[in-house]
Structure 1
Amino acid sequence: MKRSRLPHRLPLAMALAMGLSTLHAAEPSQVQTQHDHDAVDLDAVVVRANPLAATAEDLTRPVEVLTGERLDEAKASSLGETVNKLPGVQSSYFGPGVGRPIVRGFDGARVQVVSDGLGSGDVSTVSVDHAVSIEPFLADQIEVLKGPATLLFGSGAIGGAVNVIDGRVPEAVTEQPLQGRAELRTGSVNDEKTGMVRLDGTSASGNLVFHFDALHRETGDIDIPGQAESAWLMAEHGETPDPAEAGRLPNSFVRTDSGALGVSWVGERGFIGVGYSLFNSRYGIPGGGHVHEEEGHEEEAGHEGEEEADAHGSDVRIAMDQRRTELRAGLDDLGAFQSLRAKVARTEYTHTEYEGDAVGTVFDNDSTEARLELVHQPLAGWNGALGLQWAQREFVAVGDEAFVPGSNSRDAGLFWIGQRDVGPLKLELGARHDRSRVDVDDAVAIGPDRDFDTTSFSAGLKWEPTDPVHVMFGLDRAQRAPSAEELYSNGLHVATASLELGTPTLDVETANRAELGVHWHHGPFKASASVYHVRFDDYIYLADTGLVEHEVPVRLWTQGDARFNGAEAEASWAFADNASGQWDLRVFGDVVRAKLAGSGTREVAFTLEHEGELEELVAALPQGGNLPRIAPSRVGGELRWELGQWRASLGAVRYAEQDRVAAHERPTDGYTLVDAHVAWHVDTAGGNGLEVFVDGSNLLDEEARSHTSFLKELAPLPGRGVVVGVRAFF
């Protein structure tokens, strides 16, 4: 594929030009930072995803924030697992090495994962066995935007966005000349050993600020309650449970290394900085999650070949490596504009699938993304921000099981978002237009190159009839362009154990959302609830055709109108603050229903190669019914206690049975996960701190299978586990 070099230089030059003007500043800005371990009022945290500085409680759109000790308790080996106890947010699961956020039933290409406003640069949307290349242990703050975030992050955020703030390119001077944190932990359920360190400091001149972080994690195969294969799957295959195979999920190990170095010049009116980071992870695919076209023919090779075939599925491992360079700059007080923020990132990503010691398939993804935000002075009563975003992605897949062809994708977007107060009302309006193009390798054989124009609008209203009550109402029209894998997939997708076919003629999908929410805060009580309805035109989904080819099901990317209805609620009560300590009770719940509109079935025709010949197949696809792999409803609660240097919590989440399933999809049993946390913290002289903690998960050792997982019949969630560790703050 021919690579264009000129576009790579344009965003870099743009960021340099904007940022260099800050170098004349003489004095550093005085920004006070907060220790990572301090308790934080999450509603009062400024949301960085929004160009207009606002707290989570001030925004008219729903957002959840994790930071401080709440983030410390939630941190896990995957981003999805870290945020999955927030209302409306769950996680995908392809073994412990892979967990991507699912927001209100949306996942994959509909949920954008960004690092302080810029895309992660991985290929986690291409396949469910590809991990997110962001390390949650190194995060300062995680923000989850629920509902369409297309105004801020483009077409890939039609279902929501997760913004991870890690401070790898400093933007302000530190509170102390040198400060940081370190953590060591070990876990029982997977023999985990994790260590991380972070350092931030400011030079004696007060202008040069640096950041350094590093992390290493090793885990073995996870312990599970019972057998890896579900009782249904064993009965389906006529197998008898083998007690010797119980209690462990083979090939579920994870090895992760991550590190970053950043340096910035900070002045009175702005900053300019650069950072370099790496992320390397190796993990196994448990449960024989990958299948191969030669399976089923082991009889020809005799008993030895049969043993190899049985072991083959559990001997697949992933090695992913990412190198990322970022340049960020900011300038304040620009006359007609209050501030300017420019950022650009160049990411080089390689994902290699090993089958035993042999290389199976290699995915290369080189991307460049740039973003410019200008916050203007009040105009006709509106506070607002203009934004420009540009991205290019060069994707190549090489190997016998490369089901997606190479492609070159480009996207450019322009947006405006504004807000103003009208008496007790706060109004927010926004609009964005994107133009994207996908050029595919071998377009004659696979399908034509495609161009798309997407336009999104948003309107939000916040009304405060009384001081403790806030009522929010939102309307959105958001559009998403099809991804390259939805357009051009054409082969065996080993992760989903299916023959996956794209549709090159897919059109833009459009979501129209209406949401009503209420927030009440009075004394020790706090509660919020929201209901939403999303009407999709031309919703893109992976449909099971009911046909079988090469002993695997045939699935087709297709379109149809869809409806999503959901609700979520959360309440907390600080019911005691006395000699026994501070006591807080939190409860939450969420539910989402997703169906195709219409009724009956429709016939589609497609061609594929069968034994060297092209043949046309006709399949009946549903026009109505449930959509596949929709997250089940949940209800959960948590009791928290704090006294002096001690804090503790006990919580439980009940996942309901998911029996609203799509055609050719099996229901999933419900389960309850119980967890607990205990920590002892002491502050030492000079503002340093030390914290010892014990965390317990799945304390009932219950068999839990995630309905959103393609491996639910092969790989359950981890069993009972205890993590012991120590954190140091300095």
Structure 2
Amino acid sequence: MSLPSLWRLSPLAAALLISSQAHALELPPQVVTGNPLGSEQLASPTTVLEGDDLTLQQKGSLGETLNKQPGVSSSYFGPGASRPIIRGQDGDRIRILRNGVGALDASSLSYDHAVPLDPINVDRIEIVRGPAALLYGGSAIGGVVNTFDNRIPTEAIEGIHGAGELRYGGADTTRSSAGKLEAGNGTFALHLDANAREFNDLKIPGYARSRHAPATEDGPGKNGRLGNSDGRQDGGAVGGSYTWEDGYAGLSYSNYDSNYGSPAEQDVRIRMQQDHYAFASEIRNLQGPFTSVKLDAGYTDYEHREIEGGETGTTFKNKGYEARVEARHQPIGPFDGVVGAQVTRNEFSALGEEAFVPQTDTNAGALFILEEMQATERLKLSLGARVEHTTVDPDAKGNERFANANKSNHFTAGSLSSGAVYSLTPIWSLAATLGYTERAPTFYELYANGAHVATGTYELGDANLKKEKAVSSDLALRFDNGTHKGSFGVFYSRFSNYIGLLGTGRTLNDEGEEDAGGIPEYGYSGVRARFAGFEAQDHWKLGEGAYGKFALELSGDYTRATNLDTGEALPRIAPLRLSSGLLWELDRWQARIDVEHAAGQGRVPDNESGTDGYTTLGASAGYRFNVGGSQWLAFVNGENLTNQTVRYASSILRDIAPAPGRSVQFGVRTTF
């Protein structure tokens, strides 16, 4: 679906997110992703983004929305596509969920493939950093990003509620509108939402190409603009559920449609469409061995066309389903836990002369268990295990390029995890995790072979790849004395077989032959690797007086990733980042000033370029008011106000696609 005008809200809805009315100085509640037992504290490092924080940090892509969170960077491919990277790990190691279930797309296949989700439709985002493969599979070996949208209402709704939002501005001159409407009689609940977003070529400081970028016939390109970075996104959903005192059951349908340019190739556009059907149900307060049972399932039909010079070069299609059931058992001695099962199937095809992966069917089934026990008054322990079997079945369809895709691959992956939270004092606590995780290679890591036009690279898989294996641990000191609330933690992961997309140093033509004037070759290969680093954050309440409430937020993160086979750094790792934010609130007003510093990234493989450091300044302000029975928030958000040239070390396009320059965006949100 599409909207012809910015200022025309969809007839499906009068409103966007029914968001939290939490004030700017209040902290979000504890994350629930990764632990269906509802524990107040998780051993894994977690983050929640919702309410006003989500509104002010929201961008057009999921990766850019989360880019300032501890341990999270962005794969940034211009304003049209960006996927979150957690602790230097990206692609199929980061599981992106929708209400706890994966929605199939092609975003992990390549950096130019957007996640088919507009954050404007999301009520809450939860991030679990570190291995979360126990509940969500090997593709969560690096972490989980779970988005919640209430398209299937899980609680009874009385009457009619809604929300709406308009935005204008930013470095890409975004024009967006969105709305949501929910209605119910206490038993039946209905949800409707719709959104539209348009954006122009991105404004940047100076020229797009850095001094490291290879010369082109077009020269340095446009001054002050990132060419071919404009686009649009449209979407909407309808859902409903039947609720009762001890549970709910419901269905939803959602649609996403986008068209955006690839800054890597000035004449390449990407047209993406997705239809998603979901079912969810939970029954609580059961008698017998299980106290509750929860079922989630989704079916996705996804299509993605790469259009070069007006002609479709490659069409990607992905159809499939995912279903999972979790059953919480009665306490057994000191243990409280859940058992569960998950099945997944996806049918992927790439059609056209420029297809660089073969048609592939992937089937997976898994069983898992998670147990908690209160070992002592101060110590809580968690233990779990998962076993998952995956079959990857390719079909070359007679294409000689995929001669290596001639047989099925079968993998059985196992994962074990343990965690502990120990209360040292009422203020201080220690949290630790230790886990062993295995991940089956994906079809594109096994069978890719060809030029990928949208990214300007030649990608080559390895059909003989083995399972990815890692031992990971976290240790964090947490504190909360009413004035300070935060943590300092360190993490360490060692891979005995890390499957990386690594530059080979060769340049090839479209036929895979060496050519000095060709495109760079990147190959999927298994190496020994190590990831280590730290994350720290503190929310400091400075005080409250006649001039309002003041607080200071401080955070920092750093990841060091090494290819142990060569001693070189692994590619696309974000550098040391330090951030501070001064928050203020008085009556209906709220504001903040942010400063972020990123160090230069000179620790890169020999065949890749580094990035310079930068310091950016941001500021935002909001004013709340009521009109009749509706609540309103008017806001303005400024970013990179000193117009610094920012190149993300985590982006494969860092030398030709800088991040946005100075920008100011205005918006208004209402709930009723």
TM-score (normalizing by structure 2): 0.93
Residue identity (%): 39
Cα separation, partners in 2 of 1:357 and 1:497, compared to 1, 3 Å? closer
Whole-angstrom CA distance in 2 between matches of 1:723 and 1:637: 21
AA aligned to 1:691 is: L
Give the one of 637, 646, 657 matched to 1:704.
646
CA displacement 1:152-172 (0-9 Å, x = unmatched): 110100000100011111111
Q: Report what 2:389 is aligned to.
A: 435
Contact 2:31–2:126 (Cα < 8 Å) also in 1: no
Give the one of 519, 543, 559 matched to 1:552.
519
Q: Report what 1:47 is aligned to.
A: 32
Q: Report what 1:29 is aligned to.
A: none
Taking only aligned residues, the RMSD between alpha carbons, in angstroms, comes to 1.7
Whole-angstrom CA distance in 1 between matches of 2:441 and 2:87: 20
Give the one of 26, 29, 37 matched to 2:21.
37
Whole-angstrom CA distance in 2 between matches of 1:50 and 1:199: 30
Unpaired runs of at least 5, structure 2: 1-16, 397-401, 510-517
Q: Is 1:475 the equivalent of 2:434?
A: yes
Q: Is 1:124 the equivalent of 2:107?
A: yes
Cα separation, partners in 2 of 1:188 and 1:384, compared to 1, 3 Å? closer
Whole-angstrom CA distance in 2 between matches of 1:222 and 1:398: 31
Q: Is 1:329 the equivalent of 2:306?
A: no
AA aligned to 2:431 is: M
Contact 2:18–2:162 (Cα < 8 Å) also in 1: no
Give the one of 154, 177, 182 matched to 2:164.
182
AA aligned to 2:366 is: G
Secondary structure of 1:44's partner? coil
Whole-angstrom CA distance in 1 between matches of 2:249 and 2:174: 38
Give the one of 379, 382, 405 matched to 1:425.
379
Q: Report what 2:542 is aligned to.
A: 575
Secondary structure of 2:245's partner? coil
Whole-angstrom CA distance in 2 between matches of 1:72 and 1:315: 33
AA aligned to 1:382 is: F
Contact 1:127–1:495 (Cα < 8 Å) also in 2: no
Q: How does 1:34-433 map to 2 (within 5 A)?
A: 35-39=19-23, 41-42=26-27, 44-55=29-40, 58-174=41-157, 176-203=158-185, 206-233=186-213, 245-286=222-263, 289=264, 313-335=265-287, 336-423=289-376, 424-433=378-387
Q: Is 1:667 the equivalent of 2:620?
A: no
Cα separation, partners in 2 of 1:566 and 1:178, compared to 1, 3 Å? same
Q: Report what 1:677 is aligned to.
A: 620
Contact 1:277–1:323 (Cα < 8 Å) also in 2: yes
Cα separation, partners in 2 of 1:581 and 1:42, compared to 1, 3 Å? closer
Whole-angstrom CA distance in 1 between matches of 2:116 and 2:18: 26
Deviation at 1:271, TM superposition (A): 1.0
Secondary structure of 2:266's partner? helix
Secondary structure of 1:225's partner? strand
Whole-angstrom CA distance in 1 between matches of 2:456 and 2:607: 14
Secondary structure of 1:81's partner? helix
Contact 2:306–2:454 (Cα < 8 Å) also in 1: no
Whole-angstrom CA distance in 1 between matches of 2:519 and 2:406: 24
Whole-angstrom CA distance in 2 between matches of 1:189 and 1:596: 37
Whole-angstrom CA distance in 2 between matches of 1:46 and 1:354: 40
Deviation at 1:180, TM superposition (A): 1.5
TM-score (normalizing by structure 1): 0.85
Deviation at 1:43, TM superposition (A): 5.2
Give the one of 490, 499, 505 matched to 1:540.
499
Q: Report what 1:602 is aligned to.
A: none
Cα separation, partners in 2 of 1:192 and 1:436, compared to 1, 3 Å? same
Cα separation, partners in 2 of 1:122 and 1:717, compared to 1, 3 Å? same
Contact 1:149–1:157 (Cα < 8 Å) also in 2: yes
Whole-angstrom CA distance in 2 between matches of 1:468 and 1:685: 43
Deviation at 1:240, TM superposition (A): 6.9
AA aligned to 2:66 is: V
Q: Report what 1:485 is aligned to.
A: 444
Q: Report what 1:587 is aligned to.
A: 554
Q: Report what 1:519 is aligned to.
A: 478
Deviation at 1:645, TM superposition (A): 0.4
Whole-angstrom CA distance in 2 between matches of 1:666 and 1:198: 45
Give the one of 628, 653, 678 matched to 2:571.
628
Secondary structure of 2:63's partner? helix
Contact 2:328–2:338 (Cα < 8 Å) also in 1: yes
CA displacement 1:314-367 (0-9 Å, x = unmatched): 011101000011111110112222211101111000001111221111000001
Contact 2:293–2:325 (Cα < 8 Å) also in 1: yes
Deviation at 1:191, TM superposition (A): 2.0
Secondary structure of 1:446's partner? coil
Contact 2:552–2:582 (Cα < 8 Å) also in 1: yes
Contact 2:212–2:609 (Cα < 8 Å) also in 1: no
Q: Report what 1:4 is aligned to.
A: none
Whole-angstrom CA distance in 2 between matches of 1:46 and 1:631: 25
AA aligned to 1:324 is: H
Deviation at 1:84, TM superposition (A): 1.2
Deviation at 1:514, TM superposition (A): 1.7
Deviation at 1:685, TM superposition (A): 4.3
Whole-angstrom CA distance in 1 between matches of 2:22 and 2:224: 38
Whole-angstrom CA distance in 2 between matches of 1:694 and 1:549: 47
Deviation at 1:398, TM superposition (A): 0.6
Contact 2:103–2:298 (Cα < 8 Å) also in 1: no
AA aligned to 1:112 is: R
Whole-angstrom CA distance in 1 between matches of 2:444 and 2:171: 36
Unpaired runs of at least 5, structure 1: 1-32, 290-312, 599-622
Cα separation, partners in 2 of 1:488 and 1:643, compared to 1, 3 Å? same
Whole-angstrom CA distance in 1 between matches of 2:438 and 2:407: 21
CA displacement 1:496-529 (0-9 Å, x = unmatched): 4222211101000111012110101112112301
AA aligned to 1:655 is: A
Contact 2:47–2:128 (Cα < 8 Å) also in 1: yes
Q: Report what 1:601 is aligned to.
A: none
Secondary structure of 1:109's partner? helix
Deviation at 1:587, TM superposition (A): 0.7
Q: Report what 2:468 is aligned to.
A: 509
Q: Which has the higher helix share?
A: 1
AA aligned to 1:462 is: V
Cα separation, partners in 2 of 1:317 and 1:172, compared to 1, 3 Å? same
Whole-angstrom CA distance in 2 between matches of 1:498 and 1:575: 50
Q: Which has the greater radius of gyration?
A: 1
CA displacement 1:9-57 (0-9 Å, x = unmatched): xxxxxxxxxxxxxxxxxxxxxxxx98533338545345144211134xx
Whole-angstrom CA distance in 1 between matches of 2:307 and 2:468: 35
Cα separation, partners in 2 of 1:714 and 1:547, compared to 1, 3 Å? same
Cα separation, partners in 2 of 1:208 and 1:428, compared to 1, 3 Å? same
CA displacement 1:350-386 (0-9 Å, x = unmatched): 0011112211110000011101011111112111011
Q: Report what 1:716 is aligned to.
A: 658
Cα separation, partners in 2 of 1:80 and 1:240, compared to 1, 3 Å? closer
